[in-house]
Amino acid sequence: MPAFKKAVTFSYDDGVTQDQRLIDIFDRYGLKCTFNINSGLLGTANSLLREDVTVAHVKPRACEVRNIYKGHEIAAHTLTHPRLCSLPDEEVIRQVEEDRLALSELAGYEVVGMAYPGGGTNYDSRVVRLIREHTKIKYARTIISNNSFDLQDDLLEFRPTVYHHESMPALFEVGKRFLATEASAPQILYVWGHAYEFDIHNTWSQFEDFCRMISGHPDIFYGTNREVLLPD
């Protein structure tokens, strides 16, 4: 059973250069995040078209990873961001475990977490079984937000509370509800997304307002996914 009654954690995917700006915000307010990285794509530079806006999707170099994410958690996101459900068993295992091992070397500690890559149906029971039986991943975040703060039994199908890019008003509503919660049992506010999404509608300042609101409360533990989901 976790020692905390209320905890806040964040999870951001893909390992992109916008993460550095996001980390500056988190560090300013004493918040902790887990960054899910594709080690096989490090050092690549691309762009994405999202909601008719072109945003940079540039990956840091491998030699930069440890310094950029210092003080936060590095987790796996597969080597090259494939749709795992479409892969044979051996490739699912390779994509996850080789990414985990490569990131462990870059991070300087054993990586044990991950986030499933891609949108839509991006995992299934077979993928979960392969990860459980053939890798050293201990928790894996889905993209299925559940709007809940309750603990969950299966950490390999972990459902976050809220996706930050769905709606900024909705994010604030969830945050205010969490702050008002009188916790009789452990409660977790888990926010996820991609740092490049803040560039689409320039919502950086709104998100900083959210971080300011949610931070600094003495009854809340602020930790990485690993610290919150796998307490000692």
Name the residue ranges covered by the structural domains of the chain: 6-229
Closest CA to 193 of 42, 6, 16: 16
Coil/strand/helix, residue 185: coil
Closest CA to 142 of 8, 13, 9: 13
Q: Kindly report the backbone phi and psi dihedral angles of residue 201, in degrees, each rounded to the nearest multiple of 5, phi listed first.
A: -120, 20
At 56, the amino acid letter reads A
What's the pLDDT at 1?
52
The pairing of beta strand 45-50 with beta strand 53-58: antiparallel
Average pLDDT over residues 76-80: 98
What's the pLDDT at 165?
93
Return d(Cα 96, Cα 137) in angstroms, integer: 8
Joined together, the tokens standing for residue 175 give 């945050």
Average pLDDT over residues 56-62: 98
Confidence band for 86, pLDDT divided at 50, 70 and 90:
very high
Joined together, the tokens standing for residue 143 give 């993209």
pLDDT tens-place string over residues 19-39 = 999 999 999 999 999 999 999
The pairing of beta strand 221-222 with beta strand 6-14: parallel
What's the pLDDT at 199?
98
What's the pLDDT at 2?
75
Average pLDDT over residues 159-180: 96
Placement of tokens 């930069």 in the chain: 64
Q: Is the predicted pLDDT of residue 3 greater than 90, yes or no?
A: no
What's the pLDDT at 200?
97
Average pLDDT over residues 152-173: 96
CATH of domain 6-229: 3.20.20.370
pLDDT tens-place string over residues 174-221 = 999 999 999 889 999 999 999 999 999 999 999 999 999 999 999 999
